[in-house]
Structure 1
Amino acid sequence: MKFNNIQSCHLGPEISPEQFIPEHFFLFLLKGSMVSYDGYRYYDMKPGDYCIARKNHLVRYTKHKDNGQFEKVIITFDEDFLKKFLDRHPYHAEPTDNTDSFLFIQEDKLIHNFVHSLEPYYNGAEQLDDIFVDIKREELLMILLKNHPGLKDIFFNFNVPHKIDLEYFMNQHFKFNISMERFAFMTGRSLSTFKREFKAIFNTSPGKWLMKKRLDEAYFLLDKEHRKPTDIYIDLGFEDLSHFSFAFKKKFGVPPSEVVKLKG
């Protein structure tokens, strides 16, 4: 189905650009494609796909434009909004063993018509007029719960992450560029407990371990897979190329570009 007159828009609180999803959000891809990775699996998203991105998950995105365009509809279901919704529409959430970071939603007439219904509310930018935001968010939430009743166990679970295997989690997620506070929260620990247990397991501090782990992985990618420094530094959790190059040379004695040349 075509959405030729729909443009990118965002309803609700803005989603942080970091690799941690702080609130649930509905995502509909209009143009372009996207591959997301959460440390365990990849999620491929194409134009016309709908999904729910789940809060308290780590996700890294790779976006691909189509003729220079990447357009999407994002509708945030933040905790404050969801709790107010529950005051008017009581639901009881049950524990769920679903750990997927993205839940894909099959298109039906209600979802399709909802997306089309956003068009008249545009104020000329990517944001809808504030007066309509919560009305449209509530409409979408009711559609989703009608079509997929099990989503109540996702949306209305306000518990913080439970304590999980720290060593396994860190080895799966060391490439993600988030703060120590986020790592602690994701593993169900206070920051002080996280640091103490981390030192007991790895015999070093989280910061030193992350740097070594990322640089060792960088050397492997450059030396064995002949990757370019410019292609790997972001995926390894470094914010800029100069920081990556400085840290790499400090550890290995040569800049990353020299490792590639030696194997060229």
Structure 2
Amino acid sequence: MKANTITSCYIGPQISPEQFIAEHFFLYLAKGTLQGYDGHKNYTLKSGEYCVVRKNHLARYNKQREDDQFEKIIVIFDEAFLKDFRAKHRISDTRSKSAAAFIKLNRDELIPNFVRSLAPYYNGAGKIDETFSQVKREELLLILLKINPELTGVLFDFGSPQKLNLEEFMNRNYKFNVSLERFAYLTGRSLTVFKKDFEKIFHETPSRWLVQKRLQEAYFQIEKKGKKPSDIYLDLGFEDLSHFSFAFKKQFGVAPSKI
């Protein structure tokens, strides 16, 4: 493999690159280090380690290369696949009480053996023929449930998020760059009810509050922690540095680089 490459093997439907996790997926890190954050805690995944990332959660992850390479295998367990699997294997509905987005799994030689078994089936573009994709996904899920039975309560919970404490949720998750529709859904509300409840609690519109909250945190990190604007704007939910700098100067009357 050439240096400076980032390779991925995806099995299953495409997943969105946004910070809202719409479908469960299994992640195996073959090379490199991955730092994850879900609003509750930070996680670290190193070469040879693996986890399940849960749907209906917010998550952000940063990649660190190893010998200029970063290799991962992602297997998506979408709801349609899981419902077919549940019917075939007669699995009862259940719900997990865990709030974590990243679930580290028990180590077992069956997992690396499964990963090695994929090599003959995918091409250089990281695609596996649909003929084998479903079979390999089912094989992996059988392995995961055998060595981590508690995943039943995670993967086969098809309910929508329940109504949450809005103030607590937003103060913990304001840094995630997702739409108001996503925030509303994750707090168990329609968008209309979310906006109404939000203004009752914060006495501000969600959009304006999010910008102000992120900028206040930015000011703190630059002034008190010596962070550079270029190092923090993405982690605070801004899409580009110029937009962050413009909003910061408008809010505080000075460019972030001058603090």
Q: How does 1:127-138 map to 2 (within 5 A)?
A: 127-138=127-138
| 2:184 aligned partner | 184
The 1-side partners of 2:34 and 2:111 are apart by 21
Moved over 2 A (4+): 93-96
| 1:222 aligned partner | 222
What is the percent sequence identity of the aligned residues?
Answer: 56
Q: How does 1:243-254 map to 2 (within 5 A)?
A: 243-254=243-254
Report the more deviating stretch, 37-46 or 109-118. 109-118
1:233 offset after TM fit, Å?
Answer: 0.5
Report the more deviating stretch, 47-56 or 101-110. 101-110
| 1:213 aligned partner | 213
Q: Any gaps of 5 or more consecutive residues in structure 1? A: 1-6, 260-264
The 3-state SS of whatever aligns with 1:131 is helix
1:44 offset after TM fit, Å?
Answer: 0.7
Are 2:20 and 2:57, in contact at CA under 8 Å, matched by a contact in 1? yes
Are 2:40 and 2:100, in contact at CA under 8 Å, matched by a contact in 1? no
| 2:86 aligned partner | 86
The 1-side partners of 2:78 and 2:236 are apart by 29
| 1:109 aligned partner | 109
1:94 offset after TM fit, Å?
Answer: 2.5
TM-score, length-scaled by structure 1: 0.93
| 1:12 aligned partner | 12
- CA RMSD in angstroms comes to 1.1
| 1:142 aligned partner | 142
Report the more deviating stretch, 110-119 or 236-245. 110-119
1:170 aligns with 2:137: no
Q: 1:47-105 CA distances to partner (integer Å, 9 max, x unpaired)? A: 00011111111111111111221110000000011111122111013232111111111
Q: What amino acid sits opposite 2:197 in the alignment?
A: E
Q: What amino acid sits opposite 1:235 in the alignment?
A: D
1:238 aligns with 2:238: yes
Q: How does 1:55-66 map to 2 (within 5 A)?
A: 55-66=55-66
Q: What amino acid sits opposite 1:44 in the alignment?
A: T
Q: Any gaps of 5 or more consecutive residues in structure 2? A: 1-6
Instruction: Report how many residues are paired.
Output: 253
The 3-state SS of whatever aligns with 1:34 is strand
